[in-house]
Amino acid sequence: MPSNFNRKGLSLKWLELFQICARKGSLQATAQETGLSISTVSYHLKSLEEHLGVDLLDHSRRPIVLTPKGRAFLRNIDDALLAIRKAKADASSGNVDEARYLRIGAIEDLDSDIMPELAVHLAGEMPGCDFLYHTATSHEIIDMLRNRQLDLGITTSPLDRHSDLHETPLLRDPFVLVLPGNTDHALPDITGGGNKLPFLRFSSELIIAQQIEAQLRRLGILLAHQFACNNNQTLMGMVASGAGWTITTPLLFSRAKRFHGQVQLHPFPGKSFSRRLSLVSTQDCTASVLDLVDAKIRASLGQHVIMPRHKATPWLKDHFTLVDPT
């Protein structure tokens, strides 16, 4: 083993690349995530192994797997790397103008008014920062946060809590019924199945669909359906055409302005329930950046969504609200 490697200090870059490669199982995937060439990634990982004097990765297998010593080493550095990232974030908190790169994910529910306004605001407040904005489902955003592909995201609160992520609640978004405008069925008949109007669902892989289905099961409501979709606008268009009814939320209803004159909005009959939107971040995201994003998102939600919806639908005033982060 060349002695010059042993005289080098342990590089933080080596550790970070090893952690990513252990998660991805591929030099190519590691290179894609970090923006480095495959040869550079390979060089850094080999440098780490030669510095330690042990094989951490079994390069002969595809996907790459950790050796027993590699697994032990990963367990020891995971907490250390998190502590280093947190320390770096704490050291730079309050210095928003020093941020150089910020990756933000958001669910499609916010891509019309809220996210464009946030992008303009952050560009003005953080002129030296490069931004990446990504629209995806809540599940995808959570996975990207956990894999350090995003710094923060605005999502439906995950059904499972993740200790490696920080969650700040933003919005209480209650579930409501949307019916075709010419429907005269009583609400209990709609949810009780006492009508021929089919229930139009969100696709089952979405968190919102899982929340709705869980509540219906708790209430003992079994609804036949003919259509499922992962796009809110399509569901609203189907309801407006008279093809069925759906369960959605005021935030999603607000996005479908073109259909408002053709549908009816009603409270969910019986026991009400709601979803919560949250600002979810990695633990190493700076407090100053989180505060900046949180404040702007709340202001935009209030101005563009909550106040207009309260004015149009007064019975939502006590239900469709911002959530105190404390």
pLDDT tens digits, 306-323: 999 999 999 999 999 999
- Number of alpha carbons in the 13 Å side-chain half-sphere of residue 302: 9
pLDDT for res 316: 95
Sketch the domain layout of the chain as residue ranges: 3-92, 96-173+275-322, 176-272
Query: With contact defined as beta carbons under 8 Å apart, do 213 and 135 qualify?
Result: no
Per the model's pLDDT, the better-predicted residue between 162 and 17 turns out to be: 17
pLDDT bucket at 235, cuts 50 / 70 / 90 = very high
Between 214 and 84, name the one with better pLDDT: 214
Closest Cα partner for 172 from 298, 312, 308?
298
* Cβ contact 269:177 at 8 Å: yes
Domain 3-92 = CATH 1.10.10.10? yes
Q: Encoding tokens for residue 53? A: 């004097």
Residues 168 and 174: their CA atoms lie apart, in Å, by 18
Domain 96-173+275-322 architecture: 3-Layer(aba) Sandwich (3.40)
Fold (topology level) of 176-272: D-Maltodextrin-Binding Protein; domain 2 (3.40.190)
Average pLDDT over residues 52-60: 87
Does the pLDDT at position 9 exceed 70?
no
Q: Are the C-beta atoms of 283 and 165 separated by less than 8 Å?
A: yes
Q: What is the pLDDT of residue 286?
A: 81
Cis peptide preceding 63, ω within 30 of 0:
yes
The beta strand positions in 28-162, using DSSP E, are: 57-58, 65-66, 101-106, 130-135, 152-156
Locate 217 and state its tokens. Answer: 């099961």
- To the nearest whole percent, how much of the chain has pLDDT over 70? 86
Q: Is the pLDDT of residue 4 over 50?
A: no
- For 197, residues 6+ apart whose C-beta sits below 8 A from its C-beta are 179, 180, 183, 185, 190, 244, 245
Say yes or no: do domains 3-92 and 96-173+275-322 share a fold. Answer: no
Name the pTM for this structure.
0.70
pLDDT value for 195: 66
Most confident of 5-14, 27-36, 200-209: 200-209
Q: Is the pLDDT of residue 248 over 90?
A: yes
Cα separation of the two ends of the chain: 55
- Within 10 Å of residue 323's Cβ, how many Cβ atoms? 16
**If you average pLDDT over residues 226-235, what whole number do you get?**
86
More confident residue, 49 or 183: 49
Among 47-61, 63-77, 157-171, 198-212, where is mean pLDDT lowest?
A: 157-171
